[in-house]
Amino acid sequence: MATEPVDLILTADAVLTVDATGTIVEAGAVAIRAGLIVEVGPAAELLARYHPAELIENPGCVLAPGWVNTHTHLAMNLFRGAADDVTLEVFLERMIAAEMRTLSAATVAVGARAGIAECLAGGTTTALDMYWFPRATRAVAAEAGFRLLNGPIFMGNQDPEGRDFAGMLAEARAILADNRAETPDDDLWVMPHSAYLLDRPQLEDIRALAAEAGARVHTHASESLGEVAMAGQVNGDRPIAVLDASGLLTARTVLAHAVHLTDAEIDRIAASGAAVAHCPVSNLKLGCGIARVPELLAADAALGLGTDGAASAGALDMFAAVRMAALLHKGTTNDPTMVSAERAVRLGTVDGARALGLSDVGTIEAGMQADLQVVRVDTPNAQPTRDPWSALVYAATATDVRHTVVRGRVLLRDRVLQTIDEESALRDLTEAVAR
């Protein structure tokens, strides 16, 4: 008889561990205790060894690590549909004006709650979020049980609370101190928007702040040709060179987009250890271009996947980002082996986690955080399932997610959110937009 107690056992037709060798456990199970994975293996063996407080059996499903979204603006869903079919430059003009006019901690909290609900419903368990009023989003994420990384952002002298740059630096120090006090083992982040909305002295001040706090850095870089030109006008050089000269291109930096890169810039990014958050759906929708992912991979640059915000990408859908990453680069190279289904899953899970400095997220192995998604593949769009990697990438969609687990807590159960009232979250979002 099973004697060792655990909190939860999940079973599935296949467990994609995403470990170093790509182990798939057929008829597998995962045992969880105190938020951590105790063991993964054949279901029959685990059920004989462990006595779970709860058993959730998932026939017709694949169990995989939760998606890690390496670049998003969660509360930008407040502006979903407000600037479609326009260039990045027009998009930014509209968004920044709207944000300065309408955002508050209360509205960001409303947007973040609906955004996190969308993430959990689509199997996303971690997000690196860059947006105004980071305290508000952090509080919502903590309440929902969602794994969130965020920090103070800087956008030149623009701030919805009317602070000048010196005031933003002071507020950032306070936010970082509060974050450190609340969760001492969390990585801290500072988020300079870009090398075209911040000048060199401002970027250097932010670098000094990051060094002082021991914080990581997240910034946009080379998203469009227009951005590259604007960085030249503001700072006299291309975005990567400006960030590098400012001391912000390091192994603790995540660059969002990085679409328009030269060969030398790809080599410099790889040598620096900086990571790229590839956002293929947003890049296509804004007409920014296609990131040089094959070359980045060939250079062994760190790479993860992101959605960007719902206003630019349309949705916070990591299934779409993973599928697009797999398909797009086959087309640009005429090589169907480029970004295989397994590699796409890795980009959306463990590679993204490592890009964010997370060593205990992104795989299903003993000792790792129990951040998981259970995805139905017994559906007309996924049957027959010959290869679970392919089923997850080329067939399944966000609405096929049955359960989402973060830190061992079931936050989405049979498509029903457990820590967010979906109806009230959407009602609050609608009312906030109407105001």
- 217 lies in the same domain as 152: yes
Rounded Cα–Cα distance for residues 164 and 215 (Å)? 22
| Residue 338: inside a domain | yes
| Residue 391: inside a domain | yes
- 139 lies in the same domain as 51: no
**What is the model's pLDDT at position 187?**
83
**What is the model's pLDDT at position 431?**
95
| Residue 429: inside a domain | no
Residues of the chain with pLDDT under 50: none
- 143 lies in the same domain as 284: yes
Domain edge (last residue) among 335, 353, 371: 353
**What is the model's pLDDT at position 2?**
67
**What is the model's pLDDT at position 39?**
98
Domain edge (last residue) among 353, 376, 402: 353
Sheet of 147-149, strands arranged across: 67-72, 124-129, 147-149
| Residue 430: inside a domain | no
**What is the model's pLDDT at position 1?**
67
**Beta strand spans in 17-87 (E):** 24-33, 36-42, 50-56, 61-65, 67-72
Whether pTM > 0.85 for this model: the answer is yes
- 47 lies in the same domain as 169: no
- 257 lies in the same domain as 387: no
Count of structural domains, the chain: 2
**What is the model's pLDDT at position 183?**
78
Rounded Cα–Cα distance for residues 273 and 278 (Å)? 15
**What is the model's pLDDT at position 152?**
97
| CATH number of the structural domain spanning residue 371 | 2.30.40.10
| CATH number of the structural domain spanning residue 281 | 3.20.20.140
What would the pLDDT profile of 54-93 be if each residue is shown by its tens digit?
999 999 999 999 999 999 999 999 999 998 999 988 998 8
- 58 lies in the same domain as 112: no
- 366 lies in the same domain as 408: yes
- 337 lies in the same domain as 367: no
For Cα atoms 206, 316, 393, give the angle at the middle one, nearest 5 degrees. 115
- 19 lies in the same domain as 78: no
Q: Which domain holds residue 113?
A: 67-353
Q: Is 38 helix (H, G, I), strand (E, B) or coil?
A: strand
- 90 lies in the same domain as 150: yes
Domain edge (last residue) among 319, 336, 353: 353
- 312 lies in the same domain as 253: yes
What would the pLDDT profile of 156-195 be if each residue is shown by its tens digit?
888 999 999 999 999 999 999 999 988 766 789 999 999 9
Rounded Cα–Cα distance for residues 141 and 135 (Å)? 10
**What is the model's pLDDT at position 157?**
86
| Residue 433: inside a domain | no
| Residue 426: inside a domain | no
- 57 lies in the same domain as 71: no
| Residue 193: inside a domain | yes
Q: Are 370 and 30 in contact (CB under 8 A)?
A: yes
**What is the model's pLDDT at position 321?**
98
Rounded Cα–Cα distance for residues 73 and 196 (Å)? 19
